[in-house]
C-alpha cells in the first residue's frame, strides 16, 4: 500500500511554503506538518529488508544452541551453566529493551536499529576468538549480542506498523514473523553445518558478521523512518500531539487489559520456546544414544545431525504455522472480532498435549516423538504474527515502541530468561540423586522439560482473557486517534471560520 495522508485545505491565513509546507501568515493559525507519503513499492522493499534482518536476528539467538555440546566441551560447562548462557543473553536483552523502546518512540528509529546491528555483530565476531580459559568473557559477549538484538526486536515491528494497516499489515507481519522460526531453525543448521565442514564451531560466529554487514547497508539505504501512526492517517495529529512521558505511557499500558493479558500469553510462549529451543537438540541426541543409534560424545566435535533435523523441523513448521495462523486470523476476524486471541488460545491449548507426548514417548519411539514435537512447534508458530497484530491494534501509535519493549521485557523476565537455566538446573538436581548412567542423564533432562507443557496451557488461558477485553481496547484506540485529529481541526477552524476538505 502507499502510505499517504493529506492535511486540511482551505484554512485561512496559510499558504504553501518551500517544499510544500504550509506557512502561517500574520493572522493565520500555527503551521502544520507537511504530509508524508511513500510509494507502495518502497514500503514493500523496506519490509523485505526488515524481514532479512529479522532472519539474522533469530539466527543469532539460536546459533549457540546448534553447537551446544561443542561449546560445553570447549569451555568445560555443565548443564546448569550451559543454560545460563541463554539466561545471560536474555537478561541483557530485557534490560536493554525499555531503553530502546523509549528511544524508538522519541528519536530516529533507523539510527537506533543501525546501532543495534553493529553491536550484536561486533560482539558475536569477537566471541569467536575467546580462549577457553576465559569462559566468563564468552558469557559477557553473549549478553552484548542480546543487547544489540533488543533494539531490533523492539523497534522493527513499530516501523512495519507505520507502513501498513489492516489486512496489509496482517500479511506483512505474517511474513516478518515467519523469520522467527526460520531464523531460529537456520541458526541450528548454520552452527551444526559449519562445525561439520570446518571441525570448529567458532567459524559459525565468524560467518554471521558478513551477512550482518549487508543488512546494515540495506537498512541505511532502503528503509525509511515513517512518522508514528502514519498508516492510520494520523500523521498530522500524532506529530502535533504533545509528547507524553515514559511513566504516562506505562500507566496507560498497565490499564490496557488486552495488552496485559496478551503479554502474559506471550510470556508463556517465550518460556516454552526458550527452554525447548535451547535443549531440544541435546535431548534428541541423547534419545538416539539411549536407543543405541549413536555413541555418546566425549570430545568435540560432536555429532550434529540432531541439530540439523531440529533446525529443519523448526523452519518448515514455522513457515506453515505463521502463514496458517495469520491467514486464519485474517479470515476469521471478519465474522468474529475476537478472532485473534481466540486463535492464539486454541493453538496453545492444543500444543500442550503435543509437547507432553513428544517428551514422554522419546524413550519408547523416536518417530512418534518427532511427530508430536513437529505438531507442537507448528501450533506455537501460529501465534507469532497474530500476537504482534493484537499489540498494534490495542495500543495507540505514540507509545507502540514502549509497548513492544515492555512486552519483550516481561516476556523474557518471566519466560526464556530463566527457562533454559531452570531446565538445566532441575536436570542437574535430578541427576545428583541417581546412578551416573547415560539413561538416567537422559531421563533427568526429559523430566525437567515436562513443565513446558503445563506453562503453555496457562498461556492459552491468558489469551482467552485477552478476548474479553479486545473489542473495548481497540475501540478506544480508534476513538483516540479520531478524536485527536478532529479536535485539532476544530480548534483551527473555530478561530478562522474555514472548513477542511480532503481525506
For residue 11, pLDDT beyond 70: no
Using CB atoms within 10 Å of the CB of residue 230, give its burial: 0 to 12 exposed, 13 to 18 middle, 19+ buried.
buried
Q: What is the tens place of the pLDDT at every residue in 391-414?
A: 888 988 778 878 888 888 888 788
What is the distance between the alpha carbons of residues 439 and 289, in angstroms, rounded to a whole number? 9
- 466 within some domain: yes
- 15 within some domain: no
What is the distance between the alpha carbons of residues 458 and 466, in angstroms, rounded to a whole number? 13
Mean pLDDT of the chain, nearest integer: 79
DSSP secondary structure of 2-71: -EE-------TTEEE-GGG-EEE-TTSPPP-PPP-EE-HHHHHHHHHHHHHHHHHHHHHHHTTGGGHHHH
- 14 within some domain: no
Query: pLDDT grade, residue 53 (50/70/90)?
Result: very high
* Nearest residue to 411 via CA among 275, 274, 256, 264: 264
- 19 within some domain: no
Report the CATH number at residue 397.
1.20.1250.20
Query: pLDDT grade, residue 496 (50/70/90)?
Result: very low
Query: pLDDT grade, residue 373 (50/70/90)?
Result: very high
Q: Which residues of 32-66 are buried (b: 16+ CB within 10 A; e: fewer)?
A: bebbbebeeebbbbbbebbbbbbbbbbbbbbbbbb
What is the distance between the alpha carbons of residues 411 and 450, in angstroms, rounded to a whole number? 20
Rounded to two decimals, the pTM is: 0.68
Instruction: Indicate the pairing of strand 37-38 with strand 22-24.
Output: unpaired
* Nearest residue to 448 via CA among 283, 288, 289: 283
**Do the beta carbons of residue 85 and residue 421 sit within 8 Å?**
no
- 331 within some domain: yes
* Backbone angles phi and psi of 382, in degrees to 5: -60, -20
The mean pLDDT value for 331-338 works out to 88
Number of domains composing the chain: 1
Partnered with residue 22 across adjacent β-strands are 16
Query: pLDDT grade, residue 487 (50/70/90)?
Result: very low
- 154 within some domain: yes
pLDDT of residue 41: 86
- 348 within some domain: yes
Domain extent at residue 92: 35-495
Query: pLDDT grade, residue 302 (50/70/90)?
Result: low
The mean pLDDT value for 265-290 works out to 87
- 8 within some domain: no
pLDDT of residue 299: 61
DSSP secondary structure of 76-97: T--HHHHHHHHHHHHHHHHHHH
Amino acid at each position: 500500500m502507499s502510505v499517504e495522508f493529506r492535511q486540511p485545505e482551505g484554512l485561512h491565513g496559510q499558504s504553501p511554503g518551500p517544499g510544500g509546507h504550509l506557512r502561517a501568515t500574520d493572522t493565520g493559525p500555527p503551521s502544520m506538518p507537511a504530509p508524508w507519503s511513500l510509494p507502495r513499492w518502497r514500503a514493500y522493499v523496506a519490509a523485505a529488508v526488515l524481514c532479512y534482518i529479522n532472519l539474522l536476528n533469530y539466527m543469532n539467538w539460536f546459533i549457540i544452541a546448534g553447537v551446544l555440546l561443542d561449546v560445553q566441551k570447549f569451555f568445560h560447562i555443565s548443564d546448569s551453566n550451559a543454560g545460563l548462557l541463554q539466561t545471560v543473553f536474555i537478561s541483557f536483552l530485557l534490560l536493554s529493551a525499555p531503553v530502546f523502546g523509549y528511544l524508538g518512540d522519541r528519536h530516529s528509529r533507523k539510527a537506533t536499529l543501525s546501532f543495534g546491528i553493529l553491536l550484536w555483530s561486533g560482539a558475536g565476531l569477537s566471541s569467536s576468538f575467546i580462549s577457553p580459559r576465559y569462559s566468563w568473557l564468552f558469557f559477557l559477549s553473549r549478553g552484548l549480542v542480546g543487547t544489540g538484538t533488543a533494539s531490533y526486536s523492539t523497534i522493527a515491528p513499530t516501523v512495519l506498523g507505520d507502513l501498513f494497516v489492516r489486512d496489509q499489515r496482517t500479511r506483512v507481519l505474517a511474513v516478518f514473523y515467519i523469520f522467527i522460526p526460520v531464523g531460529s531453525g537456520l541458526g541450528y543448521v548454520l552452527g551444526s553445518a559449519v562445525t561439520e565442514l570446518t571441525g570448529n564451531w567458532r567459524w559459525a560466529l565468524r560467518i554471521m558478521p558478513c551477512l550482518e554487514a549487508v543488512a546494515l547497508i540495506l537498512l541505511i539505504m532502503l528503509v525509511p523512518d515513517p512518522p508514528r501512526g502514519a498508516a492510520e492517517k494520523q500523521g498530522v495529529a500524532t506529530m502535533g500531539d504533545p509528547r507524553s512521558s515514559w511513566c504516562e505511557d506505562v500507566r496507560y499500558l498497565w490499564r490496557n487489559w488486552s495488552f496485559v493479558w496478551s503479554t502474559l500469553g506471550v510470556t508463556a510462549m517465550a518460556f516454552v520456546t526458550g527452554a525447548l529451543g535451547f535443549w531440544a537438540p541435546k535431548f534428541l541426541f541423547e534419545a538416539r544414544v539411549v536407543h543405541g543409534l549413536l555413541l555418546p560424545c566425549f570430545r568435540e566435535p560432536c555429532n550434529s545431525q540432531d541439530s540439523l533435523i531440529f533446525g529443519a523441523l523448526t523452519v518448515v513448521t514455522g513457515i506453515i504455522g505463521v502463514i496458517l495462523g495469520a491467514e486464519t486470523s485474517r479470515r476469521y476476524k471478519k465474522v468474529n472480532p475476537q478472532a485473534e486471541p481466540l486463535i492464539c488460545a486454541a493453538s496453545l491449548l492444543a500444543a500442550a498435549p503435543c509437547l507432553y507426548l513428544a517428551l514422554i514417548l522419546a524413550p519408547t519411539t523416536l518417530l512418534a516423538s518427532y511427530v508430536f514435537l513437529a505438531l507442537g512447534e507448528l501450533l506455537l508458530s501460529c501465534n507469532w504474527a497474530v500476537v504482534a497484530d493484537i499489540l498494534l491494534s490495542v495500543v495507540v501509535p505514540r507509545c507502540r515502541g514502549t509497548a513492544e519493549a515492555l512486552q519483550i521485557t516481561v516476556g523474557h523476565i518471566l519466560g526464556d530468561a530463566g527457562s533454559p537455566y531452570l531446565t538445566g538446573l532441575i536436570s542437574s538436581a535430578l541427576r545428583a540423586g541417581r546412578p551416573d548412567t547415560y539413561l538416567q542423564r537422559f531421563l533427568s533432562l526429559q523430566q525437567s522439560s515436562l513443565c513446558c507443557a503445563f506453562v503453555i496451557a496457562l498461556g492459552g488461558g491468558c489469551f482467552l482473557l485477552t478476548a474479553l477485553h479486545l473489542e473495548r481496547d481497540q475501540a478506544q484506540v480508534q476513538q483516540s486517534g479520531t478524536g485527536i485529529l478532529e479536535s485539532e481541526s476544530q480548534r483551527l477552524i473555530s478561530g478562522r471560520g474555514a472548513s477542511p476538505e480532503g481525506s
